[in-house]
């Protein structure tokens, strides 16, 4: 080939074309993502700097109080003695000597079963026992005179004792058919009728001793060293609302139930008029004797969260907030902002909660409207309507 002949151009390689395509792709999509990032940053700055309308809230001034540590439990009233009166021997009801709901004394006759046959047998046994006793004395005299053997004398004495024992057994059987009150108390509703045959163990009537009366309740094992015999507890009974009662701890179970990790406690109180009845629900409260200084606020003022409990404390607004133009004509300019502060909560009492750390007496906290708040949010105070904040609330029935 002549040197003057021009060379033909070679087409670009496939690898170079792919490289240029990747560069073009990166430039295009990089520009798209960069534009998206700039727009997102601008939107975030806009929303972050956008003025928030003030939130209307109610407030509460935290106050210092000294609370005595207390605990509550659910209890049940229990009679001092309580049973279903029954019979040990079967028979036909011949006499009913009580009325339903009657107060009775120990030993008073309640029911008499038919004992005509047993009385007849008793008379025969008494006669046989009397005869056997007379013969025993005669044989003893003969034995002293050596007219009969000692073995015969002993046999006669044994026969007399055996006959007397049979008469006493018959007398005990008759006594079993005479049912009497085993203790003082109040009878329930009669469960038998005249002429009815009673089997041994059939219930006749309930009997409850109401004075004194006990309240049984359980406490967790952590309270084992916080209760002692002789300590006072307070009772509230739903059956008698508004009538508090005071009882004295009379027994503490020495062991803890392994299934519930609770132990049983019994308190006793006088019940002369029988107003308290066994089986009634009772709310038991008692002081633990440990006084504690707390800062008290309503429970509605605390935001309870898994990562920590907090309150919103009212502080003066900065000048830029106080001097800002209202967003709407006639709208008030906020004079306060809120600061979120984490606190340590303690015991509760009614609508109130004690703060053990993080809050001082006299500081003002937000008591309602917490869900709409954030840190440094401007607020308007409106205390026209406030949440309940009582240590012993008494809600009305509606």
pLDDT in tens, 97-124: 888 888 999 988 998 887 767 666 767 7
Which residues, in sequence order, are CB contacts of 255 under 8 Å at separation 6+? 263
- d(CA 284, CA 121) in angstroms, rounded, equals 57
Q: Are strands 378-381 and 55-61 parallel, antiparallel or unpaired?
A: parallel
11: region left, alpha or beta (phi > 0 left; psi from -120 to 50 alpha): beta
The secondary structure of 118-167 as a DSSP string is HHHHHHHHHHHHHHHHHHHHHHHHHHHTTSS-HHHHHHHHHHHHHHHHHH
Query: Residue holding tokens 């004394």?
Result: 105
Locate 167 and state its tokens. Answer: 């008469």
- Domain covering 71-78+206-290 in this structure, CATH number: 2.40.30.170
Q: Per mean pLDDT, which range of 8-12, 98-102, 114-118, 312-316 is the poorest?
A: 8-12
pLDDT at 197 over 70: yes
Q: Are 177 and 198 in contact (CB under 8 A)?
A: no
More confident residue, 169 or 74: 74
Indicate the domain borders of the chain: 55-67+292-381, 71-78+206-290, 115-176
pLDDT at site 312? 94
Which tens digit of pLDDT belongs to each residue from 88-100? 888 888 888 888 8
Give the chain's largest Cα–Cα span.
182
Q: What is residue 211's three-state secondary structure?
A: strand
- d(CA 358, CA 339) in angstroms, rounded, equals 12
Q: Per mean pLDDT, which range of 49-53, 291-295, 315-319, 366-370 is the poorest?
A: 49-53
Q: Are 39 and 363 in contact (CB under 8 A)?
A: no
User: Which one-letter DSSP state was computed for residue 83?
Assistant: E
User: Helix axis angle, 150-176 relative to 116-144, nearest 10°?
Assistant: 160
Q: Per mean pLDDT, which range of 61-70, 173-182, 316-325, 362-371 is the poorest?
A: 316-325
Q: What is residue 301's three-state secondary structure?
A: helix
- d(CA 32, CA 49) in angstroms, rounded, equals 26
DSSP-H helix ranges across the chain: 14-49, 116-144, 150-176, 319-322
Q: How confident is the model at residue 1 (pLDDT cuts 50, 70, 90)?
A: very low
Which fold does the domain 55-67+292-381 belong to in CATH? 2.40.420
What mean pLDDT comes out for the span 51-73? 82
pTM of the model: 0.56
How many residues in total does the chain contain? 398
């Amino acid at each position: 080939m002549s040197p003057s002949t021009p060379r033909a151009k070679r087409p670009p390689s496939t690898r170079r074309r792919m490289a240029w395509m990747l560069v073009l792709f990166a430039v295009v999509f990089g520009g798209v993502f960069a534009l998206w990032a700039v727009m997102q940053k601008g939107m975030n700055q806009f929303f972050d700097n956008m003025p928030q309308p003030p939130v209307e809230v109610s407030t509460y001034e935290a106050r210092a109080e000294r609370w005595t540590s207390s605990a509550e439990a659910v209890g049940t009233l229990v009679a001092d003695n309580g049973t279903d009166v029954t019979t040990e021997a079967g028979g036909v009801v011949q006499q009913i000597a009580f009325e339903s709901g009657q107060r009775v004394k120990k030993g008073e006759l309640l029911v008499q079963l038919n004992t005509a046959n047993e009385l007849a047998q008793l008379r025969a046994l008494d006669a046989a026992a009397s005869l056997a006793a007379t013969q025993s004395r005669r044989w003893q005299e003969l034995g002293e005179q050596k007219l009969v053997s000692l073995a015969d004398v002993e046999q006669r004495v044994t026969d007399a004792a055996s006959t007397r024992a049979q008469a006493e057994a018959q007398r005990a059987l008759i006594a079993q058919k005479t049912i009497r009150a085993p203790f003082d108390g109040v009878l329930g509703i009669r469960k038998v009728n005249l002429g009815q045959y009673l089997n041994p163990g059939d219930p006749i009537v309930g009997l409850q001793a109401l004075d004194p009366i006990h309240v049984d309740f359980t406490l967790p094992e952590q309270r084992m060293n916080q209760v002692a015999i002789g300590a006072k507890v307070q009772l509230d009974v739903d059956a008698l609302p508004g009538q508090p009662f005071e009882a004295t701890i009379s027994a503490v179970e020495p062991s803890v139930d392994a299934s519930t990790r609770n132990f049983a406690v019994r308190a006793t109180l006088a019940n002369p008029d029988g107003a308290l009845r066994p089986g009634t629900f009772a709310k038991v409260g008692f002081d633990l004797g440990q006084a504690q200084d707390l800062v008290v606020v309503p429970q509605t003022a605390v935001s309870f969260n898994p990562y920590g409990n907090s309150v919103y404390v009212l502080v003066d607004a900065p000048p830029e907030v106080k001097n800002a133009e209202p967003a709407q004509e006639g709208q008030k300019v906020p004079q306060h902002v809120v600061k979120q502060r984490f606190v340590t909560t303690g015991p509760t009492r009614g609508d109130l909660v004690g703060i053990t750390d993080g809050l001082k007496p006299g500081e003002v906290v937000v008591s309602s409207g917490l869900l709409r708040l954030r840190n440094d949010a401007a607020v308007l105070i409106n205390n026209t309507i406030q949440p309940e904040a009582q240590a012993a609330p008494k809600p009305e029935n509606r």
